[in-house]
Amino acid sequence: MSEPPRPSRGGRYVLTLAALVALTAASWGLAQLHLGELGPAIALGIAAAKASLVALLFMEIDRYGTASRVVAVVTVVFIALLCLGTGADVAMR
Amino acid sequence: MSEAYADRASREHALYLGMWVFLGSETLLFAGLFGLYSAYRAGYGQPFDEALRHNEQWLGSVNTLVLIVSSFFVAWAVHLTRNDRLRGALWSLVAVVALGLTFLGLKAFEYTHHLREGIAPGALYHYDLLPDPAARIFFTLYYFMTGLHALHVVAGLTVMVWLIRRIRRRRIDAHHHTELELGGLYWHLVDIVWIFLWPLLYLTG
Amino acid sequence: MTALPDFWRADRGLRSWLLTTDHKRIGVLFFIGVSLSLLIGGVFALLLRLELLTPDRTLFSAATYNKLFTHHGIVMVWLFMIPAIPATFGNFFLPIMIGAKDVAFPKLNLASFYVYALGAIVTLVAMIAGGVDTGWTFYAPYSTVSLGRVGLVATGVFILGVSSILSGINFIVTTHTLRARGLGWFDIPLFVWAIYATSIIQVLATPVLGLSLALVGVDHVWGLGLFDPELGGDPVLFQHLFWFYSHPAVYIMILPAMGVISEVVSTFSHNPPLSYRAIAYSSLGIAFVGFLTWGHHMFVAGMSTFDAGLFGILSMFVAIFSAIKVFTWTATLYGGRIVFNTPLLYFLGFAFLFVFGGMSGVAVATSSLDVHWHDTYFIVAHFHFIMVGGTLTGFLAAIHYWFPKITGRGYSERWGLVSAMMVTLGFFFTFMPQFLLGNAGMPRRYYSYPDRFQWLNVLSTAGASVLALGMILTVGYLAAAIFRGDRTGANPWRSRCFEWRVPSPPPKHNFAEPPVWQIGCYAYDVEDHGSDDVGAKEAAS
């Protein structure tokens, strides 16, 4: 992690930015189509893709070892757990 | 330097691990709000969505782009620092601060606009065009979620300013920039949280 | 070899204590904090039990009574139980047990103490400045309209939560990165696994508490209305958020006690654990599955029957991991050279009380039964059996186990036996009647009750008095031992565990040089020639 810095290529950051902007535009565009029940699911799916890009290419999560990846996965799982538990309660009443 | 670590590499590894655990913790702070959102959306359905549609999409979308670009500049600052291009890194961070302030400015504009219409959180809500309690709940959640996020933006900007000062004092260079990477990780999390807030609060009505 | 000064003497003066970054001194500071908190929480409990001596008003008004049980809960849960073992003994021993000089972030460690102190002060000030009467659970909608100091108490507990998260981060990073050379994950003492698993829960669950309290506080002060039916809110959702933290919180409270028990059982039977991995993995199992069960606090709250069924089943699973531990501990004793010092006596108390409490937990996890027991004294008895019978007993076991290591002195085993018996019996007679009361229908948090419940209440109060006396006695003989106890060597219990290989008390940086241990921490097969110095065996091997 603190080995002498190798000249890193900057191109990947620019490409990631382009991808993020594109996905944002796509998300906005799809929202205009009013896809009903699927709308939120698609929007969240795109958001997950964008978040993954930020985590992998901006945060470079794979540089930091297993622990960081475990933290990321566990965090997502727990948020999902809380949302499902409360959402299911209300939905099933 | 900590007594416990024998060398810098080990200490850095520990700092990164600590930062990731901290980021996990910070993310879970928002978990309850996402949970409330899920439950209320499931419970209220249509009138909740209707309130959602009242949010200005262009404002939310511009803010999303602002944060994405700011995230790019953070990564760019780290990249330049690794390549010993410290002046460029400094200006990248300045760009981050400018974009962060823009984000906050747009949010302030948005809040003011809402408040003038009578859209306030909780008991203060009095927007007659959307009288359903679902709308009041939606906007209360909106204020709390974006407000909590904005607090994190402010914290992140404070970190950025501190990093700018450290670069200017030459405490950061190609070989020593752990704090830049750590601060960068925090900012990216702030971006990621908004990436999820945006569709939930602006798009999916 | 010149002996290094021990950590008590290494630096002198108040400033050296208030600005210390030595994990051992920070552990001592926390010990003072949690002990004071235990005393305050205990006083609230005694006042409650005094009030309940008669069916109607005894000493206090109903309004005051409501504040008493609320304050008792808040102080016991957040000022005492959550930090009791991790912040004191975890802080003191985790680095030593993995062969490290200190934790990963010593300054952060000191900060977490001051944040704890600040949170405790704010909470206590709120109690003095009017207090709260919502119950420690702050349920909406009452927490919104209550005239008490809800916002201020919520702030205090929020701050305490921050301290918990900081400690958790520190211990996780320490365990990952500072293990001595040659010490793999399955070579470390089981107490370390317990603290590690606890820390994971702390960092993941506490933020949700923070948010819940922030919502309640803002609601109370500014009318946020997210849980107020009049403003479109759903009060049950608060319970979801609150219990998402507070159920895992009970595992924060019990896992460290289990870690202590693991050490005590091996040391005092001179046997390795029957299955090291069973204990290690079950600690992680409890930490994870504990997050899946929160809805069992809400069976009668108006939750959907779907959720009720789901949470009931999931709650049963978590008992499996506790059972694995209890069976493993019991089997560890078998065939061992058992010595009945005070720590082992506390294990015996723990074994009985925790199992009893745990079984009552399986009973209340059954939602069809819980509809009768919920919000009665049955529940109160259940969680006190675990919290007092489990955590407090574990805390007392830890004090008596590690007293010689921390102070370099021994205490009177005779008084230890007397106190252990008083605490265990006193506890039993405090809370066993409450199972009967709850089953007969006496609701919890009620100020008055039908005459026919009086004799059980009187019995409970009598038990509480004996328990209190036992605790006071403990303070007495331990305080005497600090000043006049016989000096002990490094390893009076002839344990194999790593902390017994440093002097009693340990020097400031624990080790003169980074240790490389050849003999494992449960290697009771290594011949014991009567020397208490495993270090010598190390050198000889």
B56-80: pLDDT as tens digits = 999 999 999 999 999 999 999 999 9
A89 and A73 share a domain?
yes
Q: Classify residue B45 by burial, with Cβ atoms within 10 Å: 0-12, 13-18, 19+.
A: exposed
Contact between chains at C306 and A92 (C-beta distance less than 8 A):
yes
CA distance C58 to C65: 10
Residue B176 has pLDDT above 50, yes or no: yes
Rounded mean pLDDT, C363-367: 92
* pLDDT over 70 (residue B205): no
Per-residue pLDDT tens digits for C144-169: 889 899 999 999 999 999 999 999 99
Q: Is residue C96 within 8 Å of C498, Cβ to Cβ?
A: yes
Long-range contacts formed by C450-458: CB under 8 A, 24+ apart: C450/C55, C451/C55, C453/C55, C454/C54, C454/C55, C457/C52, C457/C53, C457/C433, C458/C53
Whether B29 and chain C come into contact, CB under 8 Å, resolves to yes
The distance in angstroms from the start CA to the end CA of chain A is: 51
- Whether A46 and A81 map to the same domain: the answer is no
Q: Is the pLDDT of residue B195 over 70?
A: yes
Q: Are residues A54 and A71 in the same domain?
A: no
- The verdict on C204 touching A (C-beta cutoff 8 Å) is yes
Please state the rounded mean pLDDT for residues C536-541.
58
Residue C2 has pLDDT above 90, yes or no: no
Question: Do A37 and A79 fall into the same domain?
Answer: no
- Locate the chain C residue with the closest alpha carbon to B31: C208
Q: For C311-336, what is the mean pLDDT?
A: 93
* pLDDT reported for residue A39: 85
Peptide bond preceding B131: is omega within 30 degrees of 0, i.e. cis? no
* Residue A82 near residue B35, CB atoms below 8 Å: yes
Exposed e or buried b per residue across C250-273, where buried means at least 16 C-beta atoms within 10 angstroms of its C-beta: bbbbbbbbbbbbbbbbbbbbbbbb
pLDDT for C50 equals: 97
Do A12 and A50 fall within a single domain? yes
Band the pLDDT of C101: cuts 50, 70, 90.
Answer: very high
C409 three-state secondary structure = strand
User: In the predicted model, is pLDDT for residue C290 greater than 80?
Assistant: yes
Instruction: State chain A's mean pLDDT as an integer.
Output: 88
B184 touching A, CB under 8 A?
Answer: yes
Contact C143, C219 (CB under 8 A): yes
Whether the per-residue pLDDT at C465 is higher than 90: the answer is yes
As a whole number, mean pLDDT of residues B195-200 equals: 96
- pLDDT score for C1: 47
User: Which domains are present in chain C?
Assistant: 21-536 (1.20.210.10)
Query: What percent of chain B is predicted at pLDDT more than 90?
Result: 88
> What pLDDT score was predicted for residue A37?
80
Cβ–Cβ below 8 Å for C236 and A89: yes
Mean pLDDT of C380-398: 96
Closest Cα in chain C to B143:
C224
Percent of the residues in chain C that have a pLDDT greater than 70, as a whole number = 97
Across the range C482-491, mean pLDDT stands at 93
On chain B, the residues whose CB falls within 8 A of the CB of C514 are 6
Mean pLDDT of C20-30: 97
Question: To the nearest whole angstrom, how far is the Cα of A25 from the nearest Cα of chain C?
Answer: 32
CA C369, distance to chain mean position in Å, is 28
Residues of chain A neighbouring B80 (CB-CB closer than 8 A): 10
Q: C359: closest CA among C429, C435, C293, C305?
A: C435
> If pLDDT is split at 50, 70 and 90, which confidence band does C540 have?
low
Q: Are residues A13 and A55 in the same domain?
A: yes
DSSP letters, C116-172, are HHHHHHHHHHHHHTT---STTTT-TTHHHH-SS-HHHHHHHHHHHHHHHHHHHHHHH
Please name the residues between 59 and 78 in chain B that touch chain A, using a CB distance below 8 Å: 61, 64-65, 68-69, 71-72, 74-76
By CA distance, what is B201's nearest residue in A?
A40
Delimit the domains of chain B by residue range: 29-203
Digit-coded pLDDT (tens) for C70-85: 999 999 999 999 999 9
Contacting subunits of C (3+ beta carbon pairs below 8 A): A, B
Q: What is the pLDDT of residues B76-86, one digit of tens each?
A: 999 999 999 99
Contact B18 C169 (CB under 8 A): yes
Share of chain C above pLDDT 90, in %: 89
Q: Do residues A69 and A33 both lie within one domain?
A: no
Residue at C117: amino acid letter: A
pTM over 0.90: yes
* Partner-chain residue, chosen from A75, A81, A92, that has the shortest CB–CB distance to C291: A81
pLDDT confidence tier of residue B1, bands split at 50, 70 and 90: very low
Q: Quote the CA–CA distance of B47 and B45 in Å, as a whole number.
A: 6
Answer CATH for B29-203 from 3.40.50.920, 3.30.420.40, 3.40.640.10, 1.20.120.80: 1.20.120.80
Q: Is C237 on the interface with A (CB under 8 A)?
A: yes
**B12 at A interface, C-beta within 8 A:** yes
- Mean of pLDDT values over B32-54: 92
Is residue A55 domain-shared with residue A76, that is, in the same domain? no
Interacting residues of B70 by C-beta distance below 8 A, sequence separation 6+: B95, B96, B99, B100, B103, B187, B191
Residue C427 pLDDT greater than 50, yes or no: yes
- B-chain residues within 8 Å CB-CB of A90? 39-40, 42-43
- Lookup: tokens for C408: 């370099």
What is the per-residue pLDDT across A45-89, written as a single tens digit (0 to 9) for each?
A: 999 999 999 999 999 998 888 888 999 999 999 999 999 999 888
Rounded Cα distance, C530 and B73, in Å:
66
**C105 chain-B contacts, CB cut-off 8 A:** 2, 14, 18
A21 domain residue, yes or no? yes
Q: Smallest Cα–Cα separation from B134: which of B50, B200, B53, B198?
A: B50
- C-alpha–C-alpha distance, residues A76 and A48, integer Å: 10
Q: Do residue A38 and residue A16 come from a single domain?
A: yes
In a domain, A3, yes or no: no
Report yes or no on A1 lying in a domain: no
Number of domains in chain A: 2
Residue A40 or B1, more confident: A40
Banded model confidence at residue C335, pLDDT cuts 50, 70, 90: confident
Q: What are phi and psi of C232, to 5 degrees?
A: 90, 5
Determine the pLDDT at residue C385: 96
Mean pLDDT computed over C348-375:
94
Residue bearing the bigger pLDDT, A68 or C531: A68
| Confidence grade of residue C259 (pLDDT, cut at 50, 70, 90) | very high
pLDDT the model gives residue B2:
47
Same domain, A74 and A36: no
pLDDT bin (cut points 50, 70, 90) of residue C222 is confident
State the residue range of the domain holding A25.
Answer: 8-59
Q: What is the pLDDT of residue C535?
A: 57
| Burial class, C420, CB count within 10 angstroms (exposed 0-12 / middle 13-18 / buried 19+) | buried
Q: What is the mean pLDDT of chain C?
A: 94
Q: Do C240 and A85 touch (CB under 8 A)?
A: yes
Q: What does the pLDDT look like over A3-49, one tens digit per residue?
A: 555 556 789 999 999 999 999 999 999 998 888 788 888 999 999 99
Q: Cβ separation of B196 and A51 shorter than 8 Å?
A: yes
Segment C210-214 mean pLDDT = 95
pLDDT of amino acid A64: 87
- What does the pLDDT read at residue C76? 98
CA distance C226 to chain B (A): 6
The reply to whether A20 and A39 lie within a common domain is yes
